[in-house]
Structure 1
Amino acid sequence: NNDILHEIFTWLRPHVLHDDPTPEEEERRKDARQDLLSMALVCKTFSEHALDALWRELDDLLPVMQLFTESHDLEGDGITVGGLAGGLAGGQDVSHFNHLISEHEWTRFRHYARRVRIIRSSGFGTFEASMLLHLGRRNIGKALFPFTPTLEDVKLEFCGETWSGTENIESPAIARKVRDYAVQLCLSTVCSNVPELRLLTITGLGRISSLAPLLPCAHLEELHVQDAVLGPRSLRTLASIDSLHELDMSFELTDYEFSSCSGLTNLRSLSLSGPMYQIPTILDMVSSTHVRTVRIADPSNKATYKECTECVQVASKFPLLDEFFLVADNGFSFSESLDGPHFVNTSVPLTELIRPLLRHRSLRTLSISRWQPGGFGFSDADVETLATAWPGIVTLMLAVNRAEAVPSLNALVVLARSCPALRTLELPSITIASAEQLRPPDPPPPLSRRVSSRGRVTPTPLYENDQTL
């Protein structure tokens, strides 16, 4: 009975691995796959059910890629240079490889692809992206994995902008257009095949004219984009992806003028890495009232105090803000004057930088990492201000260079009394006036026990002159 066999092989599926599996778990999963393969070779009746269980979940695209190679690397996990794999690895145009995929290989691919339900990590590199582009064309736009309800983790990695013929002044512009077309086509191919996509990671995106290929992914919840150069059109498309819950992006905006746009209405976590003066543009774009975590970083080492203050001010607009992180150093700070720019080496109060956040009584995590000439002034009164504003704070990390004004040991007492949930603390510095402040208080004198005439035990001072009970 097919139903009984289906139920039996369902229980024989390999266990799903966690993010950091142990060697024992990996070995058990490998053994389970080997058992299914052995059962598939027993008889034709077992074969269909065993193959369904074996191909239902893939850890990556390697088994799929191996379907298009005439020979396999039996010793390792890679694909030997031969057939389509060798041609694509050689850097030739993917459109030249129609003749390298035989009808037998194409039939074999469709035979197994229809069994795939989940691909844990696609890991699209240069080879995989080129392969899928070609397969998408050959399949006339139809889904390559027709019964795949979701790809849990798709990773796209693009190379940089390259061109040949540098003597032609138009070559760089043409190369950018060709690359943009290739990136758009690759995104369209992937997103159209996995409309239930939940998490997407794109590395090396570079300059792209539009993010419209992402729109078919109506269930996209997490988007991680690295090294993106965004224009107004891309930014408007990004704002329209209202399904996003988490956005992690390292970016740079083009020099075009950006008109105001709003969106990302369901965002809960926002991580931005880029020029500090451009980050408020992205923050202004987010109209979600559910944002709880904001991470801001400027790796350029040029973020000014004014730019940081503006970012903190804009980030404070989120009413449910629970965690705030700022990483922005400035090795050189200049001020404009009639005589031109000159070096500034004056301290600024730390509380002025984070003052917009003081109204968020529910703040649980605050992490500020910044070095700038002159340092930050931070006194006992400032510590008391923070403790009063955030009584439930759990993590307070102020990794800044100090100025003349620094808190004393009394600041720790204030934090201990006002913030009972505090678990992690980092302050710029602590002033210790004398070694006496570090000496622990004297313990109370021991008490002796005296039995009264009525049989009661009453504590009495051990020393006659001590009246303390």
Structure 2
Amino acid sequence: MATRYALESDDILVEIFRHFRTSYHWDPSPWRHPRRGGSVYHDLARAARVNKMFSAHALNALWWEIPSERVALNVLPAFRATPARVQYPTDFDVSADMQNNTEWVYSINSDLIPHELERLRTYAYRVREVSIDGEERENIRIPVIEYIAGRLGGPLFPRLMCLKWNGATIYKNTGNIDRVLLAMAGTNLRILALRPSRFLSEVEDDEFHRQLLNIAPALTTRSPCIQHIELSESPDVCFVRDSDWGFSTIGVGWDSAFATPFISAFRNLERLRIQTFALDETLVDTLVALPNLLDLSLKTVWSSNSPQFQGVRGRFSKLHTMRVTVKFGEAASLLQRCEWPALQVLHVRIFTLKDCIRLDQMLEFVELIATKFRASPLHDLVLSGFYCGSFKSDTMSVTRILSPLCCLHLLRSLKLGMGSRTSYTGLYGIFLHWPALEELTLDMEELIVTVSMEESTFRGFLPHESLQTLLEVASACPRLRTVTLNCLAPPSVPLHDLDLHGLSSHNLERVTFTHTGRDYPSESIGPLATMLESVFPKLELNDLSSAALKQPSPEMREKKHMWLALLEEMRRIRREKTNASNS
């Protein structure tokens, strides 16, 4: 098809302009970090002026996601948004960095003319995602929003699909979250994301939760298609003093006594993300009862002193993805007491710093996973945050940890991260059980802790035979494409003594080392680069070099010294081969 005719096709133009949207390329989470720069908006605005056909598609992409309702309301000449210094409650302890914070105050300076409202309607109709900040003070914005929505004859954004309400800047409960949600939401709403405030008193926090519970029936009636809810933590970091570890960072959780009835009101949920103070039986019962739940992300506040979750027996019939960041006892109880026949993706991160997990506990947990998912379609497994013993403990064998998982023959992605002295021997026989493996991460760090009242420092990488490990897993897994290891250490044997297990060429594309040795002899770089380039001819050398050079500090770049030298030498060898073949 000629270019000029292709650009007259609506289907092709829709696909082209979809690439300008953040969610098309990046993390689908509602709270993803904004990655679109001003140049993207500028390009879309210019494309909208090319012709009428481009205009509609460019404007759809430009207005698909807006960072605030204020962007749309500014279309009205009579609308005013005035910044003012935040008026904190009299009993609120204002820190120095908060004294200059501002809040927006909305007003209407004149009558709204019908043709101006119609112009706003044409833009608001295109909006699919919007973020709303909670009011710092009562009625500084919501009356204007309600008035304009009323003049439009319905919700402010009638085709809205994703509504994000952020209460991080609320210092006192204003009692109007119900009015905000009802003024914005329509029948097309699919995703509702709520972030709590960490500044409310216990009484105000309870009142805030009651308001949400009271609005749940009206919200499900007005927006019956909600399929994705996020009750996530505050974006701000909260520091608390821990008796054993000095200062620790936690998020702000949702009380499960509130979260349970709120979640149960949305019977069509397919995806749920929640951070709660602790995992209790009532919450798990509610999750099991959701008939269409497919994707679950669950996080508990690790410093919570709540009793250990004892669990209930249930069956997650349709759940195919679960990501949990919980305490060790909660994770073990949850997996043990429930059935997961359809689970394909399991990510488990353990919060346990005060009491390191014993090796026998770790092995029991791995055996539990193997038993539970032996007959399931599990293909993506992440186990991280397991700090087994102290730096004085005996060396742990990775083979011993992974051997129970050999029955999971469908694994395509495996990530194992823990802090311990680790031995890498005999991996070839283990990885032969995973012929479909495409992505592997072995991030095994020795945990060395310096504890004081001011800081807790984690440092130190335990060197291992990473080159031999790389060769073993690659020879056992022909479909492997990405490998991440935490340390590139010089081999303790001559290169010709490395066991290739019959490997001559492999299609591996990416290898990443989080740390590399600094004292590798420069005269040994050439032979090692020659071997690696011949065995892994598909390595994306340019991308790997760029990634290694983009380290945030000179110290981090220095840790990549050996790896950068290897990459540069492999690039030189590949250029020589290319030139020789072309001559």
What is the TM-score of this pair, normalised by structure 2? 0.53
Q: Distance in 2 between matches of 1:426 and 1:104?
A: 55
Q: Is the 8 A contact 1:365 1:396 kept in 2?
A: yes
Q: State how 1:295-334 maps to structure 2 within 5 Å.
A: 295-301=347-353, 302-304=355-357, 305-316=359-370, 317-318=372-373, 319-330=376-387, 333=390
What are the superposed Cα offsets for residues 340-361 of structure 1, whole Å, 9 maximum, x if unpaired? xxx9612233223223211011
**Structure 1 match to 2:411:** 363
**Structure 2 match to 1:169:** none
Match of 1:213 among 239, 258, 262: 262
Q: Secondary structure at the match of 2:328?
A: coil
**Structure 2 match to 1:419:** 477
**Structure 2 match to 1:197:** 226
Q: How far 1:400 moved relative to its partner?
A: 1.7
Based on CA coordinates, which of the two structures has the bigger radius of gyration?
Answer: 1
The answer to whether the aligner puts 1:107 opposite 2:132 as a matched pair is no
**Structure 1 match to 2:194:** 156
Q: How far 1:369 moved relative to its partner?
A: 1.1
- Residue 283 and residue 292 in structure 1: after superposition, are their counterparts in 2 closer, same or farther (change >3 A)? same
Q: Over aligned residues, Cα RMSD in angstroms?
A: 4.8
Q: Percent identity?
A: 14
What are the superposed Cα offsets for residues 419-456 of structure 1, whole Å, 9 maximum, x if unpaired? 211223355767532365476899xxxxxxxxxxxxxx
Q: State how 1:56-67 maps to structure 2 within 5 Å.
A: 59=66, 62-63=69-70, 66=73
Amino acid in the other structure paired with 2:363: T
Q: Is the 8 A contact 1:196 1:217 kept in 2?
A: no
Q: How far 1:215 moved relative to its partner?
A: 3.0
Q: How far 1:157 moved relative to its partner?
A: 0.6
- Residue 117 and residue 344 in structure 1: after superposition, are their counterparts in 2 closer, same or farther (change >3 A)? same
**Structure 1 match to 2:312:** 260
- Residue 271 and residue 351 in structure 1: after superposition, are their counterparts in 2 closer, same or farther (change >3 A)? same
Amino acid in the other structure paired with 2:225: E
Structure 1 unaligned residues grouped into runs of 5+: 1-11, 36-52, 137-142, 164-171, 334-342, 443-469
Amino acid in the other structure paired with 1:399: D
* Number of residue pairs matched by the alignment: 382
Amino acid in the other structure paired with 2:492: I
Q: State how 1:358-437 maps to structure 2 within 5 Å.
A: 358-372=406-420, 375-379=421-425, 382-401=426-445, 413-426=471-484, 431-434=491-494, 437=497
Q: Distance in 2 between matches of 1:118 and 1:330?
A: 44
- Residue 283 and residue 34 in structure 1: after superposition, are their counterparts in 2 closer, same or farther (change >3 A)? farther
The answer to whether the aligner puts 1:223 opposite 2:272 as a matched pair is yes
Amino acid in the other structure paired with 2:429: T
What are the superposed Cα offsets for residues 172-213 of structure 1, whole Å, 9 maximum, x if unpaired? 5x5664454245346666555422123322223422304222
Q: Is the 8 A contact 1:250 1:273 kept in 2?
A: yes
Q: Distance in 2 between matches of 1:299 and 1:288?
A: 23
- Greater displacement, 214-223 / 288-297: 214-223
Q: Secondary structure at the match of 1:219?
A: coil
**Structure 2 match to 1:275:** 327
Q: Secondary structure at the match of 2:435?
A: coil
Structure 2 unaligned residues grouped into runs of 5+: 1-12, 23-34, 51-59, 84-101, 109-133, 234-252, 447-460, 499-526, 532-583
Q: Secondary structure at the match of 1:255?
A: coil
Q: Distance in 1 between matches of 2:377 and 2:73?
A: 49
- Residue 101 and residue 122 in structure 1: after superposition, are their counterparts in 2 closer, same or farther (change >3 A)? same
- Residue 74 and residue 161 in structure 1: after superposition, are their counterparts in 2 closer, same or farther (change >3 A)? closer
Q: Distance in 1 between matches of 2:462 and 2:69?
A: 59
The answer to whether the aligner puts 1:289 opposite 2:341 as a matched pair is yes
Q: State how 1:66-81 maps to structure 2 within 5 Å.
A: 66=73, 71-73=79-81, 80-81=104-105
Amino acid in the other structure paired with 2:432: T
What is the TM-score of this pair, normalised by structure 1? 0.64
Q: How far 1:324 moved relative to its partner?
A: 0.9
Q: Secondary structure at the match of 1:389?
A: coil
Q: State how 1:27-38 maps to structure 2 within 5 Å.
A: 27=42, 29-30=44-45
**Structure 1 match to 2:520:** none
- Residue 97 and residue 186 in structure 1: after superposition, are their counterparts in 2 closer, same or farther (change >3 A)? same
Q: Is the 8 A contact 2:105 2:141 kept in 1?
A: no
Q: Secondary structure at the match of 2:21?
A: coil
- Residue 359 and residue 115 in structure 1: after superposition, are their counterparts in 2 closer, same or farther (change >3 A)? closer
